Structures are given as structure tokens and as C-alpha cells.
A and B are shown apart, each in its own frame.
Chain A
Amino acid sequence: MQNFAFHRPKSLSEAVSALKQADEGKLLSGGQSLIPVMKLNLAAPSDLVCISSLDELRGIRTEAGRLIIGAATTHGEVDASAEVKTAIPALADLAAGIGDPQVRNRGTLGGSIAHNDPAADYPAAVVALDGEIATDRRTIKAEAFFSGMFETALDDDEIIVAVSFAVPDRAAYAKFPNPASRFAVVGVMVAQHKSGTRVAVVGAGANVFRATDMEKALDGSFDPSALDGVAVSADELTTDLQASAQYRAHLVTVMAKRAVAACG
């Protein structure tokens, strides 16, 4: 790993200015994706700004029909949170299936979505639960946030403070894990809101996306059978060692049905 300057700011504003001053600074928020990438010399930031223990980025609360989770909350904390389990049990379930226990003890919500790995689980929840990403300077709607593979709408020196999720009537996440890495080959979050059903897919393509045909079908009848014959096109999907695009397209329907069934 290349060396770098390490900063541990005491406040959000200190973190922002440390990042602004750095040549090629990066935020460190758990590091479960960033440190491996740096070890393989695929990233070599000049500065690391560690934000995982900033008070402003912590806390879980429910407010006006939305669940708000601080960006530095670990996956393990989300999984264990009574507040999350009451409001959106599917979100706790999703967090419980990320990586392995040690990754969940370090990795954070903010770190995960800022990295926007196409096979990460959280983006499915953020999109399906009509998420809003609050940063040090603005609020970004989920679909505008995830702009592409490993890309987000964040400015270089922008820091995620919290993510707010709409509490749905019911929701579930179904994942077909990559047997080697445990990332999602396909993960589908289905959430039924008063405003309509959202179906968000990760793993299958270069970026999280909504399966709008499935949403329409489920708005008609919220039952797995409503998805019979409803599939996403394989054209834009990923082919890699673990799965072809065609198989992924098939899995999206299977996982979506399972998520609907799990909604009860």
C-alpha cells in the first residue's frame, strides 16, 4: 500500500476542510472496500480522512414516516437496531447479509453507498425505500445519487451525513450471493409504499436500477404470480465469471418473486 497522510477530524466541518485541502483525498468510513483496493494498489490517495467516529454521522431515529440512519452506522449496528427492526425489518435483514460479520462490524452505510459497488446490497434499499441522502451541503434523491458504476452524484469534498428511508407498508430483500465474494449476483428489494411499489435491483447491471415493469405488475396485484412472465432485458446486464447476463435476467425475476413472497 502506498503511504498517505492520515487525518482524524473531530467534526464534520473539520472533515470537509481536511478533504478540501488534500491533493487526492479520500474519506475512510470503515474501509472495508477502500483498504482492500488500496492494498492492491488500485487506489493511492494522498490523504485519508477518517470519519467513522464523528458524532454528527451517527444515530438512528424515526421521524415523520421516515427512518434516518447516520452515515457512519455500521451494518452490524443496523442489523442489531430495534428501531430499524420495528420500522423496516427488511433493512435490518439486508444489513445482516452484507459480507461477513467482521465486515459488518466495520463497514458503514455511508461508506457503502459512496463507493457504489454495482454488486453491493445497500443501493437496492436506498432506491426501493425512496431514500434521500443528506450531505454536509444538500439532500440528494436516491435515483439521482447513484449515477453509475462506482460513481455517485457526490462532489469530491462532499460528505454523506445520513440516509433517510421511507417506511414502507411492507418490504423484503432477496439476494442471490456470489459464492466467492458474497456480493450480490442479483439482489432485489421490493417495497410497497402508499405511493406505489418500488422494485430495485443490484448486482445485475452496472448500477442499481428500478424494474418498472415489475413495479406496474405488482401495483396491479401484489403477489409473486403477478411477476410470471415479467422479466428485465438481459441486454444491459452484466456477464462475468459467476453469471451470464441471461442468467442474471432470469434471477432478477426469481429474486423479485421471492422478495414479494417474503413480504407476506
Chain B
Amino acid sequence: MATVSMRVNGKAVSADVEPATLLAELLREKLGLTGTHVGCDTSQCGACVVHVGGKSVKSCTMLAVEADGAEVKTIEGLAENGQLHPVQEAFREHHGLQCGFCTPGMIMSAVDLLARTSDPSEREIRDWLEGNLCRCTGYHNIVKAVQAAARAGRE
């Protein structure tokens, strides 16, 4: 067992974990943050995307011990003061989700994109979402939602 300490969604947490514990497992099983999902075992689907140190990562492909001391943000921490993040708002407004399972990872990934570029092209959005699989939406409304969130962010 190792003790890890980190800030998750702005709150200091610490937990005892086996070194083999994945960050996704720490979040879901020890911290009860089940908004982060696990959809595959080969780091492809992106349902588990969270932010570590402000960058999007796959929490199923990172050890909890690697996040020791880090700032972690999950889907549960995205809305602030009861106010949805513009990307969350845009996903709802543009029907960017159906079953909702890929949605947390998809949103966390899109937030990272918009932090890097405020006016991504359709191609840039599609390429950025390479690490996020969705089986429901055909991506149409996800791309529309990210475009809308980018617009909202620029206004």
C-alpha cells in the first residue's frame, strides 16, 4: 500500500492504494466519483478522460501513484458555483449525448481542446476527439456542441 495525496476538484484528498491501482479506480472506487467511466482496456475509448495538472489524460492509463501531489479535475468538478461549464451547456443544448456513457470523457477532452485553441476548425475538433469513442451520436452533434462552446467562449 502507498498513501497518495492530491487535490481532486479543488479538494485535498488522500487515500491508501496498491501501486497497481489506476487513477480511474481511485476516483471511482475510493472517492466515489463514478462520473469517470471505463469503457475499454486498451486506452482507446476515452470514457475515462480527466484532467491532471490542467491537461486531459486517460485515467485508465495512469497509476494513482503517478498522480500523487497533482491537481485532478473530473466531470463532477467542472461546473462551478452551480454554473455549468460552457461545454456542458453546449452538449445539452445541441444534443451532444445520448446514452451519456462517453459524455464525461468527451466533455473533459473538449474542455482541454478549447483551453488550447479558442477557435478550432471542424477538422481540428474531429482530430482532437481521436481518443474518444462514441457509439450513439455519430459525432455530428458532439462536433456541433464543441463548435458552439467555442463560439460561446469567444463571445
Contacts and interface: CB of A to CB of B under 8 A. Distances in A.
> Does B bind A?
yes
A32 B59 CA distance: 11
A44 B137 CA distance: 38
Contact of A101 (B2, B63, B68, B113): B113
A36 B43 contact: yes
B12 interface: no
Interface of A: 1-6, 8, 28, 31-32, 35-36, 38-40, 48, 50, 52, 76, 99-103, 105-106, 181-182
Interface of B: 2, 18-20, 22, 41-44, 46, 49, 55-58, 60-63, 65-66, 68, 109, 112-113, 128, 130-132
Contacts of B60: 39
Contacts of A102: 43, 46, 49, 56-58, 61, 109, 131
Contacts of A28: 63, 66
A106 B57 contact: yes
A6 B61 contact: no
Nearest to A177: B130
A31 B61 contact: yes
B41 A39 contact: yes
Contacts of A38: 20
A1 B20 contact: yes
Nearest to B50: A102
Most chain B CB inside 10 Å of its own CB: which residue of A76, A102, A182: A102
A31 B44 CA distance: 14
The 5 closest A-B pairs by CB, nearest first: A100-B131, A6-B19, A100-B130, A1-B20, A105-B55
Nearest to A40: B41
A48 B131 contact: no
Given A36-B41, A100-B130, A101-B109, 15 more contacts: A2-B20, A6-B2, A28-B63, A28-B66, A31-B62, A35-B22, A35-B63, A48-B63, A76-B55, A100-B46, A101-B131, A102-B57, A102-B109, A102-B131, A103-B58
A178 B130 CA distance: 13
B42 to A, nearest CB: 5
28 contacts: A3-B19, A6-B2, A6-B19, A28-B63, A31-B61, A31-B62, A31-B63, A35-B43, A36-B43, A39-B22, A39-B41, A48-B19, A50-B66, A52-B66, A76-B55, A99-B131, A100-B46, A100-B130, A101-B56, A101-B113, A101-B130, A102-B49, A102-B56, A102-B57, A102-B109, A106-B58, A181-B44, A182-B130
Contact of A36 (B42, B57, B66): B42
Contacts of B43: 32, 35-36, 102-103
Contact of B20 (A4, A52, A105): A4
B18 A3 contact: yes
A125 to B, nearest CB: 20
A35 B60 CA distance: 9
A6 B55 CA distance: 23
Contacts of B56: 101-102, 105
Contacts of B57: 102, 105-106
